[in-house]
A and B are shown apart, each in its own frame.
Chain A
């Protein structure tokens, strides 16, 4: 029996370890390095209605045990996703569900991307990026303002019958309030956390290291914050929670599962070791065997205070 099978709002996965949006391209970039069919799910790079240019360089900067990014959601738009990227994934990674990360600058854009993806073969669900801190006129406002957050989730809900997974921003005072709003507006599951807003300065040149000045922090540095938020949200809502933020190995992933996440995503770790997600799934399985647990479901949210 497979101890790792996971069902997130109808999305059937062979294990609870997915690759996070923006860190895995559209799968193709890693196809020669790992077996895509061993992943729980692939979450695509944020996809908008039309092509977006993204931010000027420098876009990334390494920081202690982490990195800042201000990519600005450069992507080719939803048509290219539907015509090229999804069909490619369907043939190359037939066993792995694909969740499309949706971005927009207006409510209509979000809704229109969702509408176009509705019924597209090979799309298992939508992750709504209401939290990207990089685009001046986009993400941030939706994810940090309760009424905007409600509006965007409602608009997308109306536009699609696909499983709907808003991805929460950590850059808020009370993440559980945002989580409840999303669930009230029709979310089937929640993803968290997106990156934490930060910056870095080069003391030699006395300039900001990122052209955008601020960027999103990810990697091991954010893990304690992410884990706390996942635990809070999982305790506050009844829908499945997908946890992420600084997961580098199976031990990290297990902490998130114990905190209440039904599945996890691996982001920055892919850059360090493309095998990370596969090794983490294996490591979770090993842990279950060692502990004599029959199915991963049995450990979710079982942390004791």
Chain B
């Protein structure tokens, strides 16, 4: 549960363009102090009646008095956000949601599995893990459509002890493994180069589902970060639910509040 949250008009410090991706850095000391990996901020992109609602973006960095997000222009909301310039203000609510739970033992192997725009929150998680536990037991596996769409690859490389600890995959084979990132995960577990790792995953739902299945097969603990359309972002509207197991039955829980990070085994995947 989020212990604390703020709404502030934040000054934009940097807004960099990389193809269809944007890296937005804004001044938000309180949010930065509270932010944990896996949490998100809810941004007012336009401030107009249309598009009306805020847009959720994962926290990519939270350092000193600055918060950064890394986003892809998908539709009108993100396109409006992309027009903002350094010096402009952006209305931000955050940090929101329940983020990743860090491993309790520093001796456990950790693997981060990311796909596409799922990489930014994992990058924040990787740097947090590196600070508390070092990088020795950290492996990252990141998939993207093409080499250009590997948005955080350099950071993951920087946090890996060797080339074997940072593995990339692309759909078109333009860099790293040609195919799915989950192929790499399966291969590493099979060859026992990874033993009983804790898995953290963020990316498109089919990828998360595949990771969850592998985790189940190998009896591994696995946390996944899910997406949903959101209105309030704070747990009030019940609009962003997913289905989870509840005793013998099921129930709906809020991605913005109980999530966006869930235990993979908790989630009802088949649907």
Contacts and interface: CB of A to CB of B under 8 A. Distances in A.
B242 to A, nearest CB: 7
Interface string B1-23: 00011110000000000000000
Which of B53, B54, B235, B243 is most buried by chain A, counting CB atoms within 10 A of its CB? B53
A67 B53 contact: yes
Interface stretch (B110-118, B186-194, B225-233): B225-233
A69 B239 contact: yes
A198 interface: no
Contacts of B6: 32-33
A64 interface: yes
- The interface centre, meaning the residue of B4, B5, B51, B241 with most chain A CB atoms within 10 A of its CB, is B241
Contacts of A71: 237-239
Interface string B49-64: 1111110000000000
Interface residues of B, number: 32
Contacts of A29: 232, 234-236, 257
B229 A271 contact: no
Interface string A202-223: 0000000000000000011000
Contact of B231 (A54, A67, A74, A273): A67
A19 to B, nearest CB: 9
Contact of A74 (B7, B91, B252): B252
Given A71-B237, A71-B238, A270 B232 contact: yes
A85 interface: no
B52 A65 contact: yes
B251 A60 contact: no
Contacts of A301: none
A265 B239 CA distance: 20
B76 to A, nearest CB: 9
A275 B7 contact: yes
A24 B236 contact: yes
B235 A25 contact: yes
A33 B93 contact: yes
B50 A65 contact: yes
Contact of B241 (A62, A67, A74): A74
Nearest to A24: B236
Interface of A is mostly: loop
A30 B241 contact: no
A167 to B, nearest CB: 17
Given A25-B236, A270-B232, A67 B91 contact: no
A158 B237 CA distance: 31
A54 B52 contact: no
A56 interface: yes
B240 interface: yes
Contacts of A61: 229
Nearest to B229: A60
B81 interface: no
Given A71-B239, A273-B91, A62 B51 contact: yes
Given A25-B235, A65-B50, A270-B236, 18 more contacts: A22-B237, A53-B251, A54-B241, A57-B241, A59-B238, A60-B240, A65-B52, A67-B52, A67-B53, A69-B239, A71-B237, A71-B239, A220-B52, A248-B49, A271-B53, A271-B54, A271-B231, A273-B44
12 contacts: A29-B232, A29-B234, A30-B236, A53-B251, A54-B241, A57-B240, A64-B50, A65-B52, A71-B237, A271-B231, A273-B91, A274-B234
Ranked nearest first, the 9 interchain pairs of A and B with the lowest CB-CB distance are: A25-B236, A60-B239, A29-B236, A65-B50, A65-B49, A271-B231, A29-B235, A220-B49, A271-B232
